[in-house]
Amino acid sequence: MSLWEWIFSIGSICWIGEMIRFRNRSESKSGAAEQVSFYLIFLVLSGTIVCAFLFANEGVSTFMRISSCILLWCGVSLRLWGILHLKQQFTRHVVVASGDQLVSSGPYRFLRHPLYSGLLLITMSFPLFTGQSGLFVLSGLLMFFFLLYRIRIEEAMLTKGFGPAYTVWAAKRKRLIPFIY
């Protein structure tokens, strides 16, 4: 394996470790729309990874390998940073529980949904690593739109749970892409 394959593999293992280490809190109950969004995102992510490796190109440029490693590690790091600041409030399902508070530290100073931003970067890293430029664009767009669908559900729940405090908090941050959207 090349250096970049090692770096990408270690990043992937760290991401899998995040999924194992940080699980849902027990009271995570969500609605049907949220569950649909979860499975749509899972489908895009798993489909992207499978297709990226099934149809991998030979001789992927070093630039693409380095770029994919940067995307993967930025995505994994952003997710871990966000999870660490959410602490016990972290859940994979959209839910506002009693006692939850708005988090304004770490990546939440700049973004409303840094874990989704990280997931978008991770999703796009796999086709880039295997030289699949068409899949890179397609998976990025699909993930972006499915994340927006989930964000709308989540923001409605947060507005209901926190009221005007959430509206004020949200107005100071971009949704998914720093300084842009």
**Is there a domain that residue 179 lies in?**
no
The residue assigned the tokens 């708005």 is 102
Cα-Cα-Cα-Cα dihedral of 21, 92, 86, 122, to 10°? 80
Alpha carbons 71 and 126: distance in angstroms, whole number: 9
Which residues of the chain fall short of a pLDDT of 50?
Answer: none
| Total domains in the fold of the chain | 1
pLDDT of the residue at 126: 94
**Is there a domain that residue 61 lies in?**
yes
**Is there a domain that residue 24 lies in?**
no
**Is there a domain that residue 21 lies in?**
no
pLDDT of the residue at 77: 96
Q: Any idea what DSSP says for residue 174?
A: B
**Is there a domain that residue 20 lies in?**
no
Provide the CATH number for the domain around residue 135: 1.20.120.1630
For 83-122, the pLDDT digits (tens) are: 999 988 888 777 888 888 999 999 999 999 999 999 999 9
148 sits in which H/E element: helix 133-162
**Is there a domain that residue 178 lies in?**
no
pLDDT of the residue at 23: 64
Contact call for residues 87 and 66 (beta carbons, < 8 A)? no
**Is there a domain that residue 180 lies in?**
no
The residue range of the domain holding 118 is 3-14+33-91+103-171
Residue type for position 135: L
**Sign of the C-alpha dihedral computed for residues 115, 117, 123 and 126 taken in this order:** negative
> Mean pLDDT for the chain?
89
The answer, as to whether pTM is greater than 0.85, is: yes
pLDDT of the residue at 21: 73
Residue among 80, 61, 59, 57 at smallest CA distance from 69: 61
**Is there a domain that residue 26 lies in?**
no
Chain-centroid distance, C-alpha 66: 20
